[in-house]
């Protein structure tokens, strides 16, 4: 009696299955990395925020709105003739700010209000002219004789209104840990730029509390950050032994760096001449507090804080020399963003590998 042929189901050896799976997984990871690279590259190079901004005009010129050509900074005569004030939108210790109009474009006109602070005003103008870049609000014109500065208008205003803006229905989709971390990256990018500016190492002195810091920066309509107020921006020159002091009054509170506080105790009255100077590492001390504001309390923000714990602990070192540079903080922020985006896109990838 003939035996019926037996059909045996053949299986791939376990090692072969594992190799195929691993190859597919690695291909997926490589594809994900490529997509992440394109996404992050688009983020860092979008809206004039590339490392080199091709949209900027030559020094002394600007381009506004949909204009294709660059125009020279407006002179005293041009400002008087072509700029129309609409309403006052703010006033500080140094200047009053007016929403204005120039050739159907909304612009901002700033005017000195306290003649005793004209040196601060002119210093801010000098910094604004010298530091024009992707990090700084766009200068449109000025008149030194009339103590007037004309800059680009950003309708979302200063960063003090960030949380309110993110609760507007139009912008609720931006209220994510990803977008908030990107804002923190923008902020640290500005600090890095000031610490390595064309003029040298500059310290952001108008930063004695969180509200004051936030008031110095603008939120653009495409959710990037620009520094707007440069009135208090002294220069550190270590090779010449030149350090800085942020004002002539005693600074207090945990927000300012330890070296900015009076070191001789309550029994010794404060004297500006006895107060030791310091360097740009005061800006580094404040980064964790400002970033904590940016991250807010949305889903995922606590995970971001956990990943930033070590770099933030380093920022809070009592010895300024032990704190990281702004570039090191920026590099860490970017690595954390890339890591977390990868984990969101392919959860469990690390365990599979």
Residues 181, 284: one domain? yes
The answer to the question of residue 24 being in a domain is no
Say what the pLDDT of residue 39 is: 54
Indicate whether 37 pLDDT > 80.
Answer: no
Residue with tokens 């900027």: 56
Which structural domain range is residue 261 located in? 154-345
CA distance 121 to 144: 10
* Domains of the chain: total: 2
Question: Which CATH number is 104's domain given?
Answer: 3.30.200.20
Residues 100 and 165 in one domain: no
Query: What's the pTM value of the predicted model, to 2 decimals?
Result: 0.84
SS3 305: helix
Domain match, 165 and 88 both:
no
Q: Which of 12 and 144 is assigned the larger pLDDT?
A: 144
| CB within 8 Å of 230: residues ≥ 6 apart | 123, 124, 127, 128, 131, 136
> Per the domain annotation, does 167 fall within a domain?
yes
Average pLDDT (108-112) is 97
What integer is the mean pLDDT of 239-248?
A: 93
**In a shared domain, residues 171 and 141:** no
Written as six digits, the tokens of 279 are 């360097």
Looking at the predicted structure, is the pLDDT value of residue 338 above 50? yes
- Which of 153, 178, 210 represents a domain boundary (last residue)? 153
Can you tell me whether residue 226 is helix, strand or coil?
A: strand
171 and 244 both lie in a single domain: yes
Query: Is residue 4, in this structure, part of any structural domain at all?
Result: no
Could you tell me which residue, 13 or 61, shows the higher pLDDT? 61
- Identify the CATH number of the domain in which residue 229 sits: 1.10.510.10
- The predicted pLDDT at position 11 comes to 53
Tell whether 294 and 227 lie within a shared domain: yes
């Amino acid at each position: 009696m003939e035996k019926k042929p037996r059909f045996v189901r053949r299986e791939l050896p376990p090692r072969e299955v594992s190799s195929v799976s691993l190859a597919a997984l690695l291909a997926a990871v490589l594809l994900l990395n490529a997509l992440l690279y394109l996404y992050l590259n688009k983020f860092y190079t979008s809206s004039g925020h590339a490392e080199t901004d091709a949209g900027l005009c030559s020094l002394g010129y600007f381009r506004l709105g949909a204009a294709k050509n660059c125009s020279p900074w407006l002179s005293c005569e041009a400002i008087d003739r072509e700029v129309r004030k609409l309403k006052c939108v703010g006033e500080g210790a140094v200047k009053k700010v007016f929403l204005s109009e120039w050739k159907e474009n909304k612009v901002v006109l700033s005017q000195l209000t306290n003649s005793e602070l004209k040196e601060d005003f002119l210093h801010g103008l000098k910094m604004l002219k010298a530091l024009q870049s992707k990090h700084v609000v766009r200068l449109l014109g000025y008149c030194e004789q009339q103590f007037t500065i004309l800059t680009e208008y950003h309708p979302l205003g200063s960063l003090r209104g960030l949380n309110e803006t993110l609760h507007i229905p139009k912008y609720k989709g931006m209220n994510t840990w990803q977008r908030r971390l990107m804002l923190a990256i923008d902020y640290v990018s500005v600090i890095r730029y000031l610490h390595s500016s064309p003029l040298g190492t500059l310290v952001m002195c108008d930063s004695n509390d969180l509200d004051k810091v936030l008031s110095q920066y603008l939120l653009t309509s495409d959710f990037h950050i620009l520094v707007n107020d440069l009135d208090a921006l002294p220069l550190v020159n270590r090779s010449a032994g030149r350090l800085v002091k942020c004002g002539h009054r005693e600074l207090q509170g945990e927000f300012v760096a330890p070296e900015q506080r009076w070191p001789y105790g309550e029994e010794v009255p404060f004297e500006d001449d006895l107060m030791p100077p310091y360097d740009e590492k005061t800006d580094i001390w404040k980064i964790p507090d400002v970033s904590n504001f940016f991250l807010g309390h949305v889903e995922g923000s606590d995970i971001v804080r956990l990943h930033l714990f070590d770099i933030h602990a380093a920022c809070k070192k009592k010895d300024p020399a032990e704190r990281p540079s702004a570039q090191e903080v920026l590099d860490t922020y970017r690595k954390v963003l890339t890591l977390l985006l990868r984990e969101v896109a392919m959860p469990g990838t690390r365990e599979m590998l």
